[in-house]
Structure 1
């Protein structure tokens, strides 16, 4: 069903207004009164009934090139949801509310994009819907319309800018990976330094670790261990002393 439908009625013709529509009654071109939902029969001629669909409608602006303040052309599309708030105001203000609203969205989008750089626009993409909504509400009210929601749907970058952004993103990811690697190495060195300090302050920990290592090595099959080669002199002295 179209947003606006007009009925030209002959005398005695009956018609119905559904509750999803607002209707305006005219006679010989002059406004008579609004019509509530229900069934009607008009006995005189020259009547005209204009009906407005009150359900939520949508306006989708296809991708259009819009220049940012740093002269970068972004191709942007938007989606807007609206409804008719005042049928009589809309009737007297504009012949095609949807087409007029489409143009208003384009103008508001150009104002928004033209006031910021391409980098700032892309960084705060999620907040642009609220800015557009604030800019469009008074314009829509003058057309007898109420905007429910407006959002940026798609943003397409020029090929050269897209390549630059991808290169910058890759460099950022590589830098983050290098930073994480450096942090991990620093943490490992700090752990080793703490372990060395503990063993220096508590020599028995080194002996325990030594025994633990021997146990881990000896757990394997067909393992031969040669121990104490560097301590032979000390062992010999201990044996000679009867220890």
Structure 2
């Protein structure tokens, strides 16, 4: 009996020891799990991720630290530190259309675009509350200022100096904010309808003026060439007849029922001179009625008082007659 009691007590003692070991193991496991959880929470609170396009600025109890955290994992104190991320990419910011009066008193609406980036994250966070809004307001005021200093022709055709001037105006405040202006460009210039019509009329008048100048220059050159051709033809009269025949050939090449030929002026002059000679001879031979013949009748002195007769000459050149009359003699 005593042996049985001892065996039972030993068995109970062994079972108690195993239970104590199990409880101890469970406590150790729970402690390890709690420790891992605490480490995970601590890591989550003390580690921050900074992207490649960002830079981190750390504030410790409200005071900024000197070092800027680069891309990757940044370690901070869980309670004391606070991390702010700043984008360092080039930011494209459109400037709303601004209405102003140019130096030559023309009302226009101009809109532009600004490209800038943050080069000093500490200044961009500390020196200005919202650097994006601040850049937008400065860009609008600078654009209105540059409109008043420029003329309309410069805004329309010569924008590069205006863009450079606008960039210089934006650089002054941007440097103190840790911002670098990359580029500034004017996008569009809106004009009133009346100004558009005036410019269209001006352009049309300028084109018409140039067209008239070109036409007059062409006529001048043509007249110079014609004058040289006339001199050549006057030296060789047969050239005029050849030119006439060439004109007839060119006109006859077309399918026309009527052929109009120019009448040579030399022929008219020849007929006129021949008529003058015939009239002068008739005036010398025939006496004037009512005058007494004398020994000096038919002489040149009596012929001066004789009235010349008009002998019309009819030349047929086409469907109608062409009349050539000699000039009256006094």
**Counterpart in the other structure of 2:3:** none
Tell me the equivalent position of 1:77: 111
Distance 2:256 2:134 in 1: 89
Alignment correspondent of 2:52? 19
Structure 1 residues 87 and 185 mapped into 2: Cα distance closer, same or farther (>3 Å)?
same
The answer to which of 22-31 and 189-198 deviates more is 189-198
- Gap change, CA 1:24 and 1:198, over 3 Å in 2: farther
The answer to whether the Cα contact below 8 Å between 2:98 and 2:143 also exists between their aligned partners in 1 is no
State the structure with bigger RCO (CA 8 A, min sep 6), 1 or 2. 1
* Structure 1 pair 202–12 and aligned structure 2 pair: CA distance change class (3 A): farther
Q: What is the TM-score with the length of structure 1 in the denominator?
A: 0.75
Note closer, same or farther for the CA distance 1:219–1:69 as it changes in structure 2 (3 Å cut). Answer: closer
1:172 matched to which residue of 2? 206
Q: Which residue of 1 aligns with 2:148?
A: 114
User: Kindly tell me: are residues 159 and 20 of structure 1, through their superposed partners in 2, closer, same or farther at Cα, counting changes over 3 Å?
Assistant: same
Alignment partners' CA distance in 2, 1:52 and 1:40: 14
* Matched residue SS, 1:12: helix
- Change in Cα spacing, 1:108 to 1:201, as seen in structure 2 (3 Å) is farther
The answer as to whether partners of 2:96 and 2:140 remain within 8 angstroms in 1 is no
- Which one has a larger percent strand, Structure 1 or Structure 2? 1
User: In structure 1, the residue corresponding to 2:214 is in which secondary structure?
Assistant: helix
Aligned partner of 1:5 in structure 2 is: none
Distance 1:89 1:16 in 2: 22
Aligned to 1:197: 231
Q: Which position in structure 2 is the counterpart of 1:157? A: 191
Q: Following TM superposition, by how much is the alpha carbon of 1:210 offset from its aligned partner in structure 2, in angstroms?
A: 5.6
Instruction: Looking at secondary structure, tell me which structure has more helix per residue.
Output: 2
Residue 106 (structure 1) shift: 1.6
**After superposition, where does 1:40-189 map in structure 2 within 5 Å?**
40-119=74-153, 121-122=155-156, 124-189=158-223
Distance in 1, Cα, partners of 2:214 & 2:165: 38
Report how far residue 41 of structure 1 moved: 3.7
Q: Distance in 2 between matches of 1:126 and 1:40?
A: 44
Which runs of 5 or more structure 2 residues have no equivalent in the other structure?
Answer: 1-40, 268-330
Instruction: Give the gaps of 5 or more residues in structure 1.
Output: 1-9, 232-243
Report the number of matched residues.
222
